[in-house]
Amino acid sequence: MEFLEFLNESVTPYHTVAGLKALLSQPAAGGLKLWERGGALIAVRMPKSPCADSKFRIALAHTDFPALKITPNPDCRAAGIQTLHPEIYGSPIYASWLDRDLGYAGILAYEACGKVETRVFRGGRLVRIPQLAVHMNRGVNQDGLKVNPQTDLNALWTSREGAKFVDALKKELPEGAELLDFDVQLFDAQPAHLGGLDDEWIYSGRLDNLSSCHAIATALACAPVPEKDFLVAAFFNNEEVGSETREGAAGNFLKSVLEEVAPDVDRNAVLSSSLALSIDMAHAEHPNFTQKHDQNHAPILGEGVVLKINSQKRYASDVFSNAQFKLLCKRAGVPYQTFVMRNDMPCGSTVGPAVSASLGIPTVDIGEPMLSMHSIREMTSVKDHGSMIKLVSGFFSL
């Protein structure tokens, strides 16, 4: 599957998992074992002959992104219009959701023959959250757009009076099935496309962190069968809300898979001499806001994979894993640049620290530089995405 197509298809974590499975089921990817847990997926390429000095080569990413989730009882009516009331998931830039064409998609749980079944779906209609006209919000350009997430983000769905959103969801089910529950979110319906004078950039929703998911899956699908090491790709859900879930990086998913694939190795010893690449997007320097970066650690779009360092340990990178990463870059011929957050601004985090702490595996936090992180529309560089695929491919074919 092409990258832009993957971005367009992956509109919820469940769809991301489906897209990753498609990437990983290419003929070149034979011999992969897959484990699925809702919106999370782990893929392992087993070695030819596992032995006492086998290692784990693990790449980590997350399948989720900030979104507006449809609440259990979403229907509201005002000004002759049925609206859908959302709940905030993660930390979106609220204003970026206004005046966009929004789709809705997710997973439905229903009863069939006394059992719970699920179906992943994508609705066929578009909704919208219109901005207030400038004439009714005169200070908007001077004071900035302020969005109250409780009152200002209801999505306009239909003018049909009395319409119930669950009735629209029921139409997605098999005939006669009873809807039990749903996990549905809004998404930017505009397709991804290339931009810039030389088509050097990618404009899309959800680049954080679909870009890293795509790079890892592409690299693993093409990796040769290893002699003795286990090649592992873990795609977690719920990173944007802290990872403390069954499908998240702080849960037991990865640990249980490693126990299953390598029952006969001394896992604690092996893990402490292995390496994990925690891959998530990084903040490129913004040409209009250069003061927001430490000038000695300001990654530039298109100039290579970013190594993320944080002394407060919001990133897992340390002297040991950083050194391994730099060696990997050298071997793969991939440029890298280093990011350190300004001391007067708080630093974000990734799945890296949770996995590194719980498994005891040296981990390095890296990512492609991007702009507009957590906006509904983000941008990254074609060149850096290529570098990331090259780097992870090198890691998986040592």
**Residue 321 vs 349, nearer CB to Zn ion:** 349
The residues near 289 (Cβ < 8 Å, ≥ 6 apart) are none
End-to-end CA distance of the chain: 25
Q: Assess 64 for contact with Zn ion (CB under 5 A).
A: no
**Residue 154 vs 350, nearer CB to Zn ion:** 350
Query: What is the rounded CA–CA span in Å between residue 235 and residue 40?
Result: 6
For residue 177, CA distances in Å to 110, 119, 121, 165 come to: 6, 11, 15, 16
Write down the residue that tokens 């994979």 correspond to: 305
Task: Give me the least distance between CB of 310 and Zn ion, in Å please.
Answer: 15
Q: Does the bond joining 209 to the residue before it have cis omega, within 30 degrees of 0?
A: yes
Interactions with Zn ion, residue window 108-127 (CB under 5 A) = none
Q: Which stretch binds Zn ion (CB under 5 A): 24-32, 128-136, 202-210, 270-278?
A: 202-210
**Residue 8 vs 278, nearer CB to Zn ion:** 278
From 10, 63, 96, 209, residue interacting with Zn ion (rule: CB under 5 A):
209
The vertex-252 CA angle with 250 and 254, nearest 5°, equals 95
Please, are residues 179 and 101 in contact by the beta-carbon 8 Å criterion? no
The residues near 114 (Cβ < 8 Å, ≥ 6 apart) are none
The residues near 21 (Cβ < 8 Å, ≥ 6 apart) are 34, 36, 41
DSSP codes, 277-334: EEE--EEPPPTT-GGGS-TTS---TTS-EEEEE-TTSSS---HHHHHHHHHHHHHHT-
Task: Give me the least distance between CB of 62 and Zn ion, in Å please.
Answer: 6
The residues near 192 (Cβ < 8 Å, ≥ 6 apart) are 4, 7, 8, 202, 203, 204, 205
**Residue 20 vs 32, nearer CB to Zn ion:** 20
How crowded is residue 124: how many other Cβ atoms within 10 Å of its Cβ? 10
**Residue 209 vs 238, nearer CB to Zn ion:** 209
Q: Which stretch binds Zn ion (CB under 5 A): 8-16, 50-58, 275-283, 382-390?
A: 275-283
Q: Which stretch binds Zn ion (CB under 5 A): 203-211, 251-259, 269-277, 334-342?
A: 203-211
Number of residues engaging Zn ion in binding (CB under 5 A): 3
Site string for Zn ion, 149-178 (x = CB under 5 A): ------------------------------
Task: Give me the least distance between CB of 208 and Zn ion, in Å please.
Answer: 4
**Residue 129 vs 284, nearer CB to Zn ion:** 284
**Residue 65 vs 157, nearer CB to Zn ion:** 65
From 172, 183, 188, 208, residue interacting with Zn ion (rule: CB under 5 A):
208
Q: Which stretch binds Zn ion (CB under 5 A): 78-86, 272-280, 282-290, 299-307?
A: 272-280
**Residue 209 vs 245, nearer CB to Zn ion:** 209
**Residue 154 vs 243, nearer CB to Zn ion:** 243
Q: Assess 280 for contact with Zn ion (CB under 5 A).
A: yes
Q: Label residue 357 left, alpha or beta by phi (over 0 means left) and psi (-120 to 50 means alpha).
A: alpha
**Residue 68 vs 249, nearer CB to Zn ion:** 249
Query: What is the rounded CA–CA span in Å between residue 126 and residue 104?
Result: 7
Judged by DSSP in three states, 1 sits in: coil
Q: Which stretch binds Zn ion (CB under 5 A): 23-31, 45-53, 204-212, 214-222?
A: 204-212
Q: Assess 365 for contact with Zn ion (CB under 5 A).
A: no
Q: What is the CA radius of gyration of the chain?
A: 22
Q: Which stretch binds Zn ion (CB under 5 A): 146-154, 255-263, 266-274, 276-284?
A: 276-284
Task: Give me the least distance between CB of 130 and Zn ion, in Å please.
Answer: 29
Residues that bind Zn ion (CB under 5 A): 208-209, 280
